[in-house]
Amino acid sequence: MGKVEIHTFDVDAVNSAANRQLYKSREPIYPKLAHGKFRKIKWALLFVTLGIYYVLPWIRWDRGPDSPNQAVLVDFTNGRFYFFNIEIWPDELYLLSGLLILSALVLFFVTSVFGRLWCGYSCPQTVWTDLFIAIERFVEGDRNKRMRLAQQKWNADKITKKIIKHSLWLLIAMATGGAWVLYFHDAPTILHHLFVGKAPATAYLFIGILTFTTYSLAGLMREQVCTYMCPWPRIQAAMTDSETFSIGYYFGRGEPRGKHKKNESWEGRGDCIDCKACVAVCPMGIDIREGDQLECINCGLCADACDDIMKKVGRPTGLIAYGAQYREGVKHDKRRLPNLLRGRTIFYGLLIIIVSTLMLVSLTGRSSVEVNVERNRAPAYTILSDGSVRNAVSVSILNKHNQPTDYRLTVTGDEALQIQAVGHQFEGNQLLLTVDGGDLQRIRIFFTLPKQKWADIQARDLAVEVTNVETGESVIRELTMVGKS
């Protein structure tokens, strides 16, 4: 092997519980670049998640001439949400609530099995912070250079570097806000309008807000968002247990820790050489060797850093690794794999199955026509001069197709029942109607029952059926006439 240099880092875990104080001003963290499999996964996920975020609004999806051709679009003006072949109307917003409930349950499930994978790999706060740190590293250099730069007096070099860094941050922050707006408008049009100043004021406002939040949250506040502002680290404590697959330090193997000179025996001591590489790479400023902590986002960078060192000193990797939680004072012989079938994982799993089944049923069972039969209330009934009883109702037909559709309205009731509609002519008990695409048509209909028929209670029952002439899809609404008893 020849010369292997093991660098020991002069680093304090600034957010370690021992250093915790209320009202303490933030101590800057200069995370060192880690190399290894988890870092690679993080880079890959960074590209995938940011890629989805920036590219998704540009994907086109043909829905015919009357609808927007953007695959994912929240159209507030017309009250529509488009997601590929799914189109959601305002009255179906429960589907979005369902989706949020499902997302929350999946998050609970993943957290109870794998710990805070969401925090470590796919939370926007983590992803953008990672990106901003990468830019900082690109402009100012890695940990030591950055620390030196921070200590250094303000000179041309420092000013240039800071200006470049903050400009790049601001550009990305603006792109973040800009891409957000694309989800609410036709992407190519709004992009053009943004540059020529024709976009609506809300678009500029939201770009402004998101530029500010991205810049300050990912650039300036970073780990403080997770530690102080986010409720999830608190909630996740209720999701995880000793079987949760999360990052941890293998106490049994590492302790007692201490400096190790080359060719010294490993007998009677732990594998941890106290080089603090794990602390130096940590973006949260903690020491994983103190056990599972609220600040830990489970990102695995400390495992990468430690594996690197272990290879160099010729010991097996995995001193810091994902596994069922390691506890101080418990001597595990080897890395412990978690037991997946536990009460909480089964519970969350079942809930996910139930909720997604319900959602699937309601999503596929959606009707393309919405029918409401509303009774007139003042007066609830009218007695005509010959003593016959009349009820007035408003029938509303909402056509959820994007093109005009023909509907047949059929009233079934007693044969003595007379049917009239304002502005329309019933043929027998049927009425043909054309409703424009996406339109609501309201018709006032009168049902009249002759005086002598009124005594027959069964004659008072009737049904209104609205049938799509082309597809045969139909909706039935039943009602009973009211009047003097």
Partner 1 sequence: MSEESKKEIDEVTGVETVGHEWDGIKELNNPLPRWWLNIMYFLILVSVIYWVLMPAWPGRHDVTHGLRNYSERVEVTKQVEAMQNARAEKAQRLLQAASLEEIENDPELFEFASALGKITFADNCAMCHGSGGQGAIGYPNLNDDVWLWGGKIEDIRYTIAHGIRSGDPKSRNSLMPAYGKAGILQKNQINDLVNYVRSLSGMDVDEEAAARAAPLFKAQCSVCHGVDGTGNRMFGAPNLTDEEWLFGGDEESIRYTITNARNAVMPNWNGRFDDATITSLAVYVHTLGGGE
331 binds partner 1 (CB under 8 A): no
Query: Quick count: other Cβ atoms within 10 Å of Cβ 438?
Result: 18
Cα(479)–Cα(373) distance, rounded to whole angstroms? 9
Site for partner 1 in 337-376 (CB under 8 A): 376
309 near 275, Cβ under 8 Å? Answer: yes
Residue 448: phi, psi to the nearest 5?
Answer: -120, 130
Rounded to a whole number of angstroms, the minimum distance from the CB of residue 252 to partner 1 is 56
Rounded to a whole number of angstroms, the minimum distance from the CB of residue 452 to partner 1 is 13
String of contacts with partner 1 for each residue 389-428, x by CB under 8 A: -x-x-----------------------------xx-----
**In the complex with partner 1, which residue's Cβ is closer, 137 or 460?**
460
Cα(172)–Cα(164) distance, rounded to whole angstroms? 12
377 binds partner 1 (CB under 8 A): yes
* CA dihedral over 63, 69, 75, 77, signed as positive or negative: negative
For 215, which DSSP code? I
51 binds partner 1 (CB under 8 A): no
Which of these ranges, 226-234, 313-321, 377-385, 467-475, lies near partner 1 under the rule CB under 8 A? 377-385
Rounded to a whole number of angstroms, the minimum distance from the CB of residue 467 to partner 1 is 22
**In the complex with partner 1, which residue's Cβ is closer, 147 or 443?**
443
Rounded to a whole number of angstroms, the minimum distance from the CB of residue 441 to partner 1 is 9
Among 155, 364, 385, 485, binds partner 1 (CB under 8 A): 385
Which of these ranges, 158-166, 189-197, 385-393, 408-416, lies near partner 1 under the rule CB under 8 A? 385-393
**In the complex with partner 1, which residue's Cβ is closer, 48 or 422?**
422
Rounded to a whole number of angstroms, the minimum distance from the CB of residue 449 to partner 1 is 14
444 binds partner 1 (CB under 8 A): yes
**In the complex with partner 1, which residue's Cβ is closer, 74 or 421?**
421
Rounded to a whole number of angstroms, the minimum distance from the CB of residue 466 to partner 1 is 18
Query: Token pair 């309008």 is at which residue?
Result: 193
Alpha carbon of 375 to those of 79, 105, 367, 391: distances in Å?
Answer: 27, 41, 23, 8
Q: Pairing relation of β-strands 389-399 and 418-421?
A: unpaired
Strands (E) across 333-435 are located at 369-375, 382-383, 389-399, 405-412, 418-421, 430-435
H or E element, residue 442: strand 440-449
Rounded to a whole number of angstroms, the minimum distance from the CB of residue 446 to partner 1 is 5
**In the complex with partner 1, which residue's Cβ is closer, 426 or 446?**
446
Interior/surface letters 10-37, b for 16+ CB within 10 angstroms, e for the rest: ebebbbbeeeeeeeeeeeebbbbbbebe
The residues of the shown chain that bind partner 1, judged by CB under 8 A, are: 376-379, 382-387, 390, 392, 422-423, 444, 446
